[in-house]
Structure formats: structure tokens, C-alpha cells
Structure 1
Amino acid sequence: SQERTLRAEFEAARAAKTPAASHGLRAPGGIPTTSRPYIYPNLENPGQRSTPPTGYIPGTPGGQPAAGMEDVLGNVIRSISSIADVSTRADKAKVSWPKFGGKYVDWYTFKSEWAVFVLEHGRHLRDEELVRCMKEHCVRGQALKMIQHAKTMPRVWQVLDNAYDRPELYVLEVLEPLRDIRPIKEHDHVKLAAFYSEVDAAISLAADVNMSDHVNGVHVIAELLLKLPEEEKRLWTTRRTNVAVGREAVLWPGFVRERLDTANLQASRVMAEEARRGSRTEAGAKEEKRKSSPASGRGRSKSPGKARSPRRSNVNAARAERKAAPRRRNGASCIIEGCRCEFYLKDCPRYREADAESRLRLAEEQRLCRRCLGHPARQLCHARGNFCNVLEACKDKPHHILLHEGMSEARYLKIE
């Protein structure tokens, strides 16, 4: 209602007929030029009229602003509305209050957010209104207890700055997540990526509040390097030789982002490989469970005259099959010199632990069957599946998985 009354008074004043208005003469600020005193609305008592102050010249800085009466009245109305909205209607979530809970890491961010808040919502608030807003809506915890006695904003900022404007404590809180991390081992790309991610987040947070010089200091970098493996330390030593001593802060943020991208790429490859191995192991376990189930033997039998083609499955399925109980020989010894086990060759511990070339060479020297690793003169080959599928050349030559497991294709072709 007060706003409508002020607007009505303004319209009535603008509609007043004066000699200057009848001739269309106006000052640059939009105020009518007349020699007699002009009547304006009384903002303190809308029912009465008031005259301009002594020495008033229309359109000059000493009187009304050059923007004209509309801007003056609009500023007054906005001031009244702003005070009402900010100070008495905050509970309706019309204003996003900056928050500060007493942490050093949040202090500089709170100061910048408060400056933006005052610029947007508090330009027309009085000093005591700003103090009340800060106490009721912004500051919490121990910080609120510190400013309970303060009555003005300069005193509030003096108390809070003395307590929380501590760059050394800010650095300690920013780097707190990194202090519990143990030294990272070589080739542990997942932990290395997580470490560099935390460091990059701390650097970005410090850059937003102009604290980069403290987070990228020489002593901070030296402390962080203790967590890194030797290869990362060597890379940083090579990089920092391009600048003078004490100027490492110039290169540190770029080095962190570069190593973070590399570590993320390597970590993604490691996780993809682990996921692939896990899926293959799960598939092998399901295949073994299907074979061992009683229902697997039921069903329509195949015709005896029709030969069944060898079934090739993945490597991990064959590896899962090898974990079954080993078969023992009937009174015969192992064909490997020095081995006294009683198992068949494919279950011999020494044969399994040997490298791929030694396993292949022994099978060729003993002229064993490549499909079952048995001697063709002593027993018939009954191998029906789980053949080697490690190399491309293995698809056309079915043979046991132990012959080429762990061998590269180039090495296999060279031996062949």
C-alpha cells in the first residue's frame, strides 16, 4: 500500500501543469525548468507536500540526480522492498544466504560470496540490518559466538579476520585428505590417479580465492612428493630444472594436471582389464557348474556315427578346469627329469610352473599328443575341448592350453 501511495503521488506531481511543461521545455535530467518552487511528494508523510531543499537547482547534482525523478522514486521504492525482502522474509527462501561454519578452508570463499550477496541484495540495507542478517542467517558455530557482541560490520569483519584469516591453517585443511594417504607404489595407477585428483581439486579451490601461492609453495610440494613413487619424482625433477629455485609454483599446477590425465588413462585400462578378467572367470565358473550338474548328462544323445567337432572355449574356462583334482599315474613316474611326482604331465606342478617355451620343447622332444599331452603309443587321445585359443595361429591347430599359455605371438611364430 505504501508503494502504491508513493506511485500515485509521483503521477500526480508529473501531471502538474507548469509554464515550462506547456511549452515542452525540460532539463537534461527530465525535471521541468521553472522559476517558482516545485512541489514534490513527501516520502515520510505521503499525505502532505514538501518543497525542495534550499539551493535546489533542477537537473544538477546538488538537487535531484540527472536520471530524473522516476529513478529517485524507483530507488526509494526498491530500497523499501529490498529491506522488507531481505531482513523480514528470509525464512521464505527468497535469498540464498552465504554460509560459514568456522572452517579455515571456507573463510575466503565466504568473504567472496558475502560481497556478491551485498552487491545483489544488500545495497540499500543499513549497517545494523547487515549485522543482523549475518548473525541470523550466515555465521554458525564458534564464529557466531565471536561476533555476538559486535554491533557494526567493521567490528564483525575485524573479529572474524583476526580469527580465520590464517593462510597456514587454510593450507593444512585443504591438504588434510592427502595426509592419510600412504606412499604410493610403482604402477599403482588407480591410487596415483586418486592422489593427483585430490591435489588438483586443492589447487583449483585455492585459485578461486587467490591462495595459490600458499598451496603451491615449495614446502607443500616437497611434502606431497614424499607420497609419490620414484618415477613421478624423477619426472618432476626433470620438469623443475627449467625454472629457478623457489619458482616451482609456476610449473606445479600444469604438471599435476598432465600427470592426472596420464594416470586416469592408465587406471581406466587397468580397471577394464580387471573387469574383463572377472567376466571370463565368472563365465568359466558357470561352465564348470553346468558340467558338474546332474542335469547336464540328460537330454537327447548324439548319433554314434557322427563325429563331434572340437569345442574351443576361452582361456579362463580352460584354466578353471585345470583347478580340478589332479589325476595320478598307476605306478609310473613323471617324464620330467628330477621330478618324482605321480601325476600326469598336464597336472605336474613343475611342468605348470615352467615357461611356455620349455613346456612346448618338452612336448616336442617326448613326441606327446598336443591335444591331451599324453603319449600316443600308450594311450588314445580323448580330448574334446578346452583347447588353446591364445594366439591367432592356434585356431587352426587345436592343442592343449599349457603349450602356449604366457607366450607372445611373435615368439610362437619364431619357434614354429
Structure 2
Amino acid sequence: MTSTSTARRLTFTAALASASALLAGALPASSALAAAEKPSQCVLRVAGPAAGMQCFDTFRKAIDNATGGRVKDAPLASSATAAAAVRERVNASTPVGRSATGQDPVIMATIYDHEYLTGSSLTLVAPNDGHGPCDSSFLAPNKYRASLPDLRTVFYPNSNTSWDNRPQSWMSYNNCQVAVHQDPGYVGPVQLQAFPTRNTIADKFGANGVSSVTIWSQPTLADLEAVCKKAVNSCVFRPQERTFVAQPRTDVATAWNCTPITQSTTQLWTKTYTTQRQVGVELGVTGGWDLFQKFEVSVKASYQQSWTDTTTLTQTTPLVVSPGHKGTLTIVPTGEKISGMMDLDIDLTRDQALGYAWSFSFPYSATRVPQEQAFPVVWNERPMTGEERNELCSSASMRAKGLSGALQSAPRETARPTG
């Protein structure tokens, strides 16, 4: 670790180191192992007058303590299935403004020693200074918000067993995210995940495990674009799933018959669809162009097809309209969705601006309506209401439209995103 990187640590680190040293027990090895095997739910305050660690026998009690009593109904034991609901309640309970003392607790993340958010846990908490510990830009100076520089100094309660090489999954809160480092002092391979939960540690860490942790602000779409567009960085889309699903029903034309006999006609209609892109949990149809270009390159290589950003469907459809009826022509196209992970690998020697070498993955997907498809075209008609007949079939209405009164139709054309 260079002196520059060391200087970037927040004051949280020093408070944490002293708190961790006080928590080291002096038990025989056999007692330490037994204590470590019994799940414990601990809360570690990384700064402020209350800095230090407290441990509880249930996850519910730990979250109650970590939120200052604002969330009392967390499950007794954590699990991947309950994670989203817990995270939502914790985030919703976090005070928006600065408290009078500036010490309202804000949960940043919970780290678990088993996969899928189970086993013993370590919840990291910072005091609320008015803007939250993870509200600044991901690419700003002093980029990480808090840290565990050496898990060898963080111990299970009443045990000589440390958290070194123990983390297996995690969940983040309040716009924070977790970066895990293979070695103490934030060196070695790094994994940074751009969404709230991680159920397993990636295989690239192998048996070495995690020895230090940093907490970062969640990157915005603009942050990801800034990193991805640099030529020195590796930014590659990794496809994982290709699915075809029916899109929402779309009305493309209407027609009505004001005469006492069945009428036939044809209707030329056009409908334009635009690709919808999803970065993490953020939807957008215009942003993220540099990322989308990486997506296009990978899709072409993986599926031997080009990806068009817009699709226009058009057809001349025959219609038969019953006397005194009004109908709607509807299409139900099929959408193609390709989902996967966008992998960023940044080498410290090539990109000094970031200050660290790390690997970073986040979900990315795009959905389009392919041009080359046969899609259902459905005609539905019903008797006109009295109000519709007065509006569409009165002599004044017909004269205003320059019509003789037999059969009329109207195409509809509006661009809409797929989804």
C-alpha cells in the first residue's frame, strides 16, 4: 500500500483499529473455535463516541441496535430471501437531515461468514453527519467512505478467531457498496459490486479469501460511463441469458362503421419501438451510450447478430367492421432480452486517477423488438356508445371531416420503449 493510498483513509479506520484491538479475547484455541462456530450477530461502529463492537444472539437485535431502535422487526436470522425487505426498511428509517448531535447511526453494510447472507454477521455503522456516509461521488477524492484495513484484528466475540478469510457474502445499505480485498491493507485482487447484495465470493479469490474491506458510494450511471469509456480500462459485457417474452399489447389503429351494413377496408399502420437498457436497477432509454456500444460488440460476437437500437413495424391490415361498431387493431410483438454482467478491470499501473487496481461488475441488460418476426395482430370491435355515435356519425361531424359516412379508420403511431 502506498503512502498516498494510506493518506486517503478516513478517520473511521483509526477508530476501528483501536476498537478491534480491545475486542481481541484471550481464549484457548478450542474455546475460540467453538465460539466462532456459534453464529453471532455483531454491530461495529467505526467512528464517534460510541465506536466499538457489540454482539447479539439474533440478527433482529443487531439491526435494532444498529438503527438506534428504528427497525425492530428484522428477521431473527438473516437470509437471502429476506434481504430485500430488510434493506428497504433500513433505508426508509435512516434520518434525512443531520441530528442535533450528529450521532444518529447509519448502517453501511452487513458482512456474513456464510453464503447467501447467513451465518455470523458484522454490521458496519457510521454516525449521521447530515449527508450520510455514502452520498458523495464514487469518483470523488477520498473515494471510499470507511474501511476494515486488516480483518486479522477483528475478532468473533469471546474468541481468538478473527474474521480474516471469513467473509462469504454481504448486503449494503443507504447508497453504500462493499469492496472486498484479498490481502490486508487493501492490496491484491479486489471485487466491487454495483448492486446491494452479493451471495457468494467470486472464484477468482480462490482459497485465499478476504482480508480487508472498504465501503464506497454507489456509482451513478455517469460514473460507470466515465470509467468504461477510458481506452486504458477493460470494459466487457458478459452475456448470461437470452430470453424472448411477449411485449405489452399496443393499439395501432381504430375504425368505426356508421352504416347499417358490414363494411370492409384496409389499414396501413406503423409502430416504432426503441431499445430499453437497464444498468443495475436503473432503467434508461437514452443514457449509457458507451456501455451500450460494449454490449453491441459482445452480442454480435456471442450470437452472430447485430443489435438495432430502434425497430419499426409496419403492415397493411384488412379490417371488417360490423354495422354501428367501433374497433381497435392491436399488436402483441415479441421482445428479445439479453442480460449479463458488465465487467470492468482497472490496472493501477494504467489508471492512476482511480488510485486502486480493482475488478468491478454490475448487471446490464437490453430489450428490443426484433424486426424479423411474425407477431399477433388482433381486431376487437364493439357497438358504439350513444356518445360515440353522436361524435363520429353525426352529419355535422361527417361534413367537417369531408366524409360521406360509410367507414372511417385512424392509424396510431407513437414511439414507445420496449420492456
Normalising by the residue count of structure 2, what TM-score does the alignment of the two structures yield? Answer: 0.18
Larger Rg: 1
Structure number with higher strand proportion: 2
Structure number with higher helix proportion: 1
Larger RCO (CA within 8 A; separation ≥ 6)? 2
Normalising by the residue count of structure 1, what TM-score does the alignment of the two structures yield? Answer: 0.19
